[in-house]
């Protein structure tokens, strides 16, 4: 059956650039979800070349039902793939892509990396253009079409968010994502490239002599310049998402056999008649439904934070030294420095997804959290009274974006701090912050705090919203106020991780019970580590 579009990609079950299976299955699931949302399942197919895997990708991936209905895997086993690989490599990108091209049934054939997917409106617009339902100023059947990509930050992907979390991030932050274009004019290094199948047949795909890493996509693009109009499709609202890789892992997996960057054929046709292993009887595999894999993917790192782990991290000065390098040693003179220290450590350990701050803009606290995890969603509460901030709102957002490469969603919540959370949730729905910076002085009271009464209700309300392992950092310049809140935590939350220092009027409460932690130890340990950091 001929469809409108064949999306072709390739991969190997080898953990390429760190958890390749997560990135590939997430991309395939998003693409399939959007195809079915648009009722395009008869118009789109996905062909994946599984090159040289010991364990087939189709057996390893967890795909949603929509994905295994439109995806077909072409398995090239090691006995066929290995002789085609360059020296000291387990992969041949150009040939693997051609294997998929040769077996695609679509009128138009697209190549895209395995961790790239398309937002629903981009997919809708693309199919409308390919079907001729939307007039364009170029001949779609003869054009070589290119689709740029927006990079999803690797810091977010390192947490392996599920589809709902990732989709929420993209809804809020797509406009902030970097749109990389490394080599303008070369018609390569894109999120996707596509053309009519007759031109893949005429060109015979990528040059299979380029067996190593890179350049083969650009070489095809330059060949297409010989006789085709090359059109980048951003004007039509068409773009892709690329799931960026952790740079610490990326360099380890790049093929040492880099292709020469001066090979450009002066004829459209390359390769021989067997291009794409046409003479090999390769088998198609579906990806059958499986039980959803329950793994640490769906657990926040905060959920497994223990007192011993916290103590271990607090004993390590690397994080605070990095913070001091960024903000300057004069940060030590800031009254809130002990609280900022705790904020930095927790942010570096957990990389909180949601951060709530009362007194937003009063210090560099939000910058510290963003440095540790630039994808964090920040809710900043401030009544805009002059004594409660030292940065104007526009300066805060500008600094976060330009100085600290912040890539998350920032929501400024002005007005009465006592009602801020309720007002925010009336619009956003329930907020579940993993990290809260609670400046107690903004909620002045020195009377005893009781469970279910008065100011105690505010703390209860915040703690009830925190996920397991979430943290509330408490800071005050008022010893009587700190003592009142300190007694509240000790009395009403026994057995939870709670480290405090009356000397610095600073504490951290972790929403996790560890009954091996005795109350007398809490105060002693809190004083110990805060005194130690002050002397560093």
> Quick one: 271 and 358 in the same domain?
no
- Residue 24 domain-assigned? yes
> Quick one: 307 and 275 in the same domain?
no
Residue 476 C-beta-side C-alpha neighbours within 13 Å? 24
> Quick one: 391 and 505 in the same domain?
yes
> Quick one: 124 and 235 in the same domain?
yes
> Quick one: 516 and 383 in the same domain?
yes
pLDDT of residue 300: 44
Residue 186 Rama label (left phi>0; alpha psi -120 to 50; beta): alpha
pLDDT of residue 451: 54
Q: Which of 285, 292, 291 is nearest to 56 (CA)?
A: 285
Task: Give the span between the Cα atoms of 33 and 216, in whole angstroms.
Answer: 30
Q: Last residue of some domain: 285, 320, 335?
A: 285
> Quick one: 32 and 160 in the same domain?
yes
pLDDT of residue 501: 82
Task: Give the span between the Cα atoms of 374 and 177, in whole angstroms.
Answer: 12
Task: Give the span between the Cα atoms of 329 and 332, in whole angstroms.
Answer: 6
- Residue 159 domain-assigned? yes
- Residue 294 domain-assigned? no
Task: Report the DSSP pairing between strands 108-111 and 192-196.
Answer: antiparallel
Q: What residues have CB less than 8 Å from 243, skipping those under 6 apart? A: 23, 26, 27, 115, 116, 152, 157
pLDDT of residue 344: 84
**Structural domain harbouring 193:** 5-285
Task: Give the span between the Cα atoms of 485 and 456, in whole angstroms.
Answer: 8
> Quick one: 476 and 406 in the same domain?
yes
> Quick one: 332 and 248 in the same domain?
no
pLDDT in tens, the chain (536 residues): 589 999 999 999 988 887 899 999 999 999 999 999 999 999 999 999 999 999 999 999 999 999 989 999 999 999 999 999 998 889 999 999 999 999 999 999 999 999 999 999 999 999 999 999 999 999 999 999 999 999 999 999 999 999 999 999 999 999 989 887 667 888 888 999 999 999 999 999 999 999 988 899 999 999 998 889 999 999 999 999 999 988 877 755 454 578 888 888 999 999 999 999 999 989 888 877 665 554 444 334 454 555 555 555 555 556 666 666 667 666 666 678 888 888 888 888 889 999 999 988 877 889 889 988 999 999 999 887 776 666 777 888 888 888 888 999 999 999 888 888 899 999 889 999 999 999 988 876 555 656 555 567 788 899 999 998 899 999 988 898 888 888 888 888 887 888 888 888 899 898 887 544 333 344 444 445 445 444 43
> Quick one: 226 and 150 in the same domain?
yes
pLDDT of residue 518: 31
Largest CA distance in the chain: 86
pTM of the entire predicted model:
0.86
- Residue 76 domain-assigned? yes
- Residue 327 domain-assigned? yes
> Quick one: 413 and 480 in the same domain?
yes
pLDDT of residue 294: 44
Task: Give the span between the Cα atoms of 511 and 495, in whole angstroms.
Answer: 10
How many separate domains does the chain show? 2
Q: Last residue of some domain: 254, 285, 316?
A: 285
- Residue 213 domain-assigned? yes
> Quick one: 250 and 389 in the same domain?
no
Tokens of 448: 């005893």
Count other Cβ atoms within 10 Å, centred on residue 519: 10
> Quick one: 278 and 327 in the same domain?
no
- Residue 293 domain-assigned? no
- Residue 292 domain-assigned? no
DSSP structure string for 363-429: SSHHHHHHHH-TT-EEEEEE---GGG-SS-HHHHHHHHHHTT---S-EEEEES-TTTHHHHHHHHH-
- Contact by Cβ (8 Å): 10, 206: no
Task: Give the span between the Cα atoms of 281 and 88, in whole angstroms.
Answer: 26
């Amino acid at each position: 059956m001929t469809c409108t579009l064949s999306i072709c990609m390739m991969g190997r079950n080898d953990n390429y650039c760190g958890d390749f299976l997560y990135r590939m299955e997430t991309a395939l699931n998003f693409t399939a979800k959007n195809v079915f949302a648009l009722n395009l399942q008869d118009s789109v197919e996905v062909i994946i070349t599984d090159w040289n895997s010991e364990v087939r990708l189709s057996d390893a991936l967890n795909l949603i039902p929509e994905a295994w209905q439109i995806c077909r895997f072409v398995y090239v086993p090691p006995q066929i793939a290995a002789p085609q690989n360059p020296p000291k490599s387990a992969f041949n990108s150009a040939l693997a892509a051609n294997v998929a091209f040769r077996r695609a049934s679509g009128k138009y054939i697209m190549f895209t990396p395995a961790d790239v997917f398309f937002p629903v409106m981009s997919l809708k617009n693309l199919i409308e253009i390919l079907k001729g339902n939307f007039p364009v100023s170029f001949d779609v059947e003869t054009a070589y079409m290119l689709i740029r990509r927006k990079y999803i930050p690797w810091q977010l992907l390192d947490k392996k968010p599920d589809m709902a979390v990732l989709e929420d991030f993209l809804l809020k932050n797509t406009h902030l994502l970097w749109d990389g274009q490394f080599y303008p004019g070369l018609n390569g290094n894109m999120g996707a490239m596509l053309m009519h199948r007759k031109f893949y047949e005429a060109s015979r795909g990528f040059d299979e002599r380029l067996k190593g890493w890179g350049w083969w996509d650009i070489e095809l693009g330059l060949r297409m310049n010989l006789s085709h109009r090359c059109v980048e499709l951003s004007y039509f609202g068409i773009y892709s998402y690329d799931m960026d890789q952790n740079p610490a892992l990326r360099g380890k997996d790049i093929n040492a056999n880099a292709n020469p960057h001066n090979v450009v054929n002066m004829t459209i046709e390359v390769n021989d008649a067997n291009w794409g292993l046409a003479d090999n009887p390769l088998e198609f595999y579906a990806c059958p439904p499986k039980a959803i894999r329950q793994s640490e993917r769906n657990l926040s790192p905060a959920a497994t934070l223990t007192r011993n782990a916290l103590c271990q991290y607090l004993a390590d000065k690397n994080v605070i030294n990095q913070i001091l390098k960024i903000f300057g040693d004069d940060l030590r003179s800031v009254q809130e420095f002990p609280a900022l220290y705790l904020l930095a450590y927790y942010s570096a350990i957990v990389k909180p997804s949601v951060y709530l701050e009362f007194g937003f803009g009063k210090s560099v606290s939000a910058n510290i959290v963003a440095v540790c995890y630039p994808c964090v969603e920040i809710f900043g509460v401030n009544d805009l009274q002059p004594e409660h901030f030292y940065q104007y709102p526009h300066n805060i957002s500008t600094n976060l974006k330009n100085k600290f490469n912040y890539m998350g969603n920032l929501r400024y919540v002005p007005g009465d701090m006592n009602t801020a959370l309720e007002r925010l949730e009336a619009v956003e729905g329930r907020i579940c912050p993993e990290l809260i910076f609670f400046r107690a002085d903004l909620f002045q009271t020195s009377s005893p705090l009781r469970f279910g009464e008065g100011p105690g209700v505010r703390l209860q309300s915040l703690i009830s919203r925190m996920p397991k392992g979430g943290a509330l950092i408490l800071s005050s310049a008022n010893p009587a106020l700190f003592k009142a809140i300190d007694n509240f935590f000790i009395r009403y939350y026994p057995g939870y991780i709670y480290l405090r220092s009356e000397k610095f009027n600073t504490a951290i409460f972790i929403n996790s019970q560890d009954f091996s932690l005795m109350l007398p130890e809490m105060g002693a340990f809190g004083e110990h580590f805060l005194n130690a950091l002050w002397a560093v």
